[in-house]
Structure 1
């Protein structure tokens, strides 16, 4: 909190064009439309790489505003480009579009009844993580900024991203594929801003922190090979199940004994273990799947190296052998908030919700593929509170659950935050603010 309070004293608005009145007025006017879009999207959710109706709604809206539109990016992604009347930076804004295979139990009048296909099986589909609100907010931001086009000193690139929640077997997608397909180019993006609505943070608040914000994540696959035997004669075996149990226990000491928790955080979880098929047969091998999470590239490399040592040497001590693949099938980098950019933009977030309502929170050990954008350009990602006021955060329905719920009044705060980030950054880059002073003070 001291960091946030310190930064606000460094920000200067001298010589900047003040968009505050226009932003507050237009946000209030567009709120009903934003809520209507959100409910339409919530009632008609689509899984990753299959956001066809969502993409059409977005593309049609952007075109109606005179924004240049490119469709089919990373399968179903939509990119809109709004060029202001004056030269300036290119600012990227991102909203993810996909829903989850979850059966909705909110009881809302616009609750989803949609079904889809996930890895070959029919599943219920629900916006159980708030991506419907992200899309509605960015559509609203696009409409407001299009109306301010003649006053904008720069370009805004609206990135509507599919498949943030991951892809189905045999597919690729999400932010990583958008980057591969050149979303950060033509025109080249200078900075990127993104948000995630949060059901456990009170409406009216925004949380943000410089540096690592969401963890980087890799999955791992461990195969332990032993010697099979009849279960009645274990002395004739090299038991891969007992060896796997020893490996699992030993892996927990990496975080508890090797990671300096005062400087960083780490998670190593074995989430699946499979071996054997009868009670009286000691199998030949066991396969385990797990997740590795950290808050820096260096920490991730260290954890993976320690995991490999622990796994192979523990197996060797038991007379077995083990192989490990990490990453196995997926990897998200750390979602990293550029320190200097975060310092400059804190006052913009404070304009949206008030100085006292922009708070610093502990890091998130969940992952976000917005991180792929942040690897290419300076970026800031923040959380938008949407828990009804007065509710106990411990009782708020979590993300990815059937009861997931957000207070729709939070969306106007997200719209304002994006608008202030865009207009303030353009003002700073246009030489109308003391950018050097802000950067120097945060080193």
Structure 2
């Protein structure tokens, strides 16, 4: 590690020379990328603090998008704005022919009231589902944007030496749009951008992305080959019965009893009807609502939950069995059940060949890397990786002395250790240069 730091100090001093001087050109692209990452660390931290203080919900990221677009334009890139909704896409054309690498960062925040007491804490409020809500970067997307902005600057500084091109995708609404209406399919964020052709003109060969996590120490990277993050669907069930007096249940149809039986029966979908040797699965009911008075059996009960698997085909099978189970259990009580499963995210699958190829790069970028277990959280990076080979990895942002005690992602107290940003910049920059050079050398 000390030898690496000494080498980086040399690289940084050399990088202070004009971008394409003979001394700078003598360094490898990888070395130049590592040096640039160190040099841009303070800039990235400043960007993150600014974005953190001014968070924006999905499809409302106008200020963030403007900041990103202005920076990319200043680097001389071709920039397209309002992609999908508020997305920003830029193309850096390298000085030599070669493949196209896409790099993605998500820009949206969450309807969470911040409780960190940071000097740059958010006081922002925005409309969410018809109500004004506090907004916070409680998942670290501010770090993703800052890392990719710095990566863009690092790669722009060596564009003439790049054997290929880079497409930068700053994506809105990874967490979902703020004005979302259930309609059977969620069409937002990555899914929308893919449908609108973000991976074409020029066509993308591979894509890389990262996500910060409070579960890992600062600067550590975790990866997994193959299925990595779960697919997910929002489960909604409406059970209809016949209202009657609670003292005379035989005069009606009790949707409360039918709902209780459905909740119990759904646990058998995974434990008894799903081949979990293919992929793990989870079916959970999170809400159940019905009735207005203690002595009235209501007309209907509604419930909602989540469905998660690590295989899209298994997800489809589980969805169908949920529907079949709910409808038949309700019918046995004389009630009816309407089942609606809104598909949110596909399974995030890291291309095994690409992952194996890029592991040496991650080892150079981080002080430590490890294989992550399956993650039951979901990510719409999955939609990019369904179209082209992709690699998605996790970056630790928690100081070692706070590990295990830090507030998790999506919580009001979630914190990002700024010192992690430089590792993210190194990883994204060197993944790009190493992949481009690998392809160039193999031709």
Given the two structures, how large is their TM-score scaled by the length of structure 2?
0.90
Query: 1:180 — aligned with what?
Result: 195
Does 1:285 pair with 2:300? yes
Q: Quick check: 1:271–1:291 contact (8 Å CA) kept in 2?
A: yes
- CA distance in 2 between partners of 1:176 and 1:65 (Å): 28
- CA distance in 1 between partners of 2:382 and 2:278 (Å): 21
With 37-46 and 116-125 compared, the bigger mean Cα shift is at: 116-125
Q: Deviations over 1:157-181 (max 9, x none)?
A: 0000011110123575311111122
SS at match of 1:326: strand
Does 1:228 pair with 2:238? no
Does 1:333 pair with 2:346? yes
- CA distance in 2 between partners of 1:340 and 1:24 (Å): 24
Does 1:343 pair with 2:359? no
Q: Quick check: 1:115–1:124 contact (8 Å CA) kept in 2?
A: yes
Query: 2:145 — aligned with what?
Result: 135
Does 1:361 pair with 2:372? yes
SS at match of 1:200: strand
Q: Quick check: 2:269–2:321 contact (8 Å CA) kept in 1?
A: yes
Gaps of 5+ in 1: 1-16, 434-443
- CA distance in 2 between partners of 1:85 and 1:220 (Å): 50
Q: Quick check: 2:384–2:390 contact (8 Å CA) kept in 1?
A: yes
Query: 1:428 — aligned with what?
Result: 438
Q: Quick check: 2:34–2:426 contact (8 Å CA) kept in 1?
A: yes
Does 1:387 pair with 2:402? no
Shift of 1:377: 0.7
Query: 2:32 — aligned with what?
Result: 22
* Equivalence map 1:182-201=2 (5 Å): 182-201=197-216
- CA distance in 2 between partners of 1:31 and 1:121 (Å): 37
Shift of 1:18: 3.4
Shift of 1:109: 0.9
Does 1:120 pair with 2:120? no
Q: Quick check: 2:110–2:175 contact (8 Å CA) kept in 1?
A: yes
Does 1:258 pair with 2:269? no
Shift of 1:314: 1.3
Shift of 1:418: 0.7
- CA distance in 1 between partners of 2:100 and 2:294 (Å): 63
Query: 1:169 — aligned with what?
Result: 179
SS at match of 1:371: helix
Does 1:205 pair with 2:215? no
Q: Are the structure 2 counterparts of residues 57 and 348 from structure 1 closer, same or farther at C-alpha, using a change threshold of 3 Å?
A: same
Does 1:217 pair with 2:228? no
- CA distance in 1 between partners of 2:351 and 2:246 (Å): 56
Q: Quick check: 1:388–1:406 contact (8 Å CA) kept in 2?
A: no
Query: 1:3 — aligned with what?
Result: none
SS at match of 1:94: strand
What root-mean-square deviation, in Å, do the aligned CA atoms of Structure 1 and Structure 2 show? 1.6
- CA distance in 1 between partners of 2:386 and 2:375 (Å): 18
Q: Quick check: 2:127–2:178 contact (8 Å CA) kept in 1?
A: no
Shift of 1:244: 0.3
Shift of 1:259: 3.5
Q: Quick check: 1:97–1:161 contact (8 Å CA) kept in 2?
A: yes
Shift of 1:25: 1.6
Query: 1:9 — aligned with what?
Result: none
| Residue-pair matches, total | 412
- CA distance in 1 between partners of 2:208 and 2:62 (Å): 24
- CA distance in 2 between partners of 1:168 and 1:407 (Å): 28
Given the two structures, how large is their TM-score scaled by the length of structure 1?
0.90
Q: Quick check: 1:92–1:159 contact (8 Å CA) kept in 2?
A: yes
Instruction: Choose the corresponding residue for 1:322, options 337, 347, 351.
Output: 337
Gaps of 5+ in 2: 1-26, 182-186
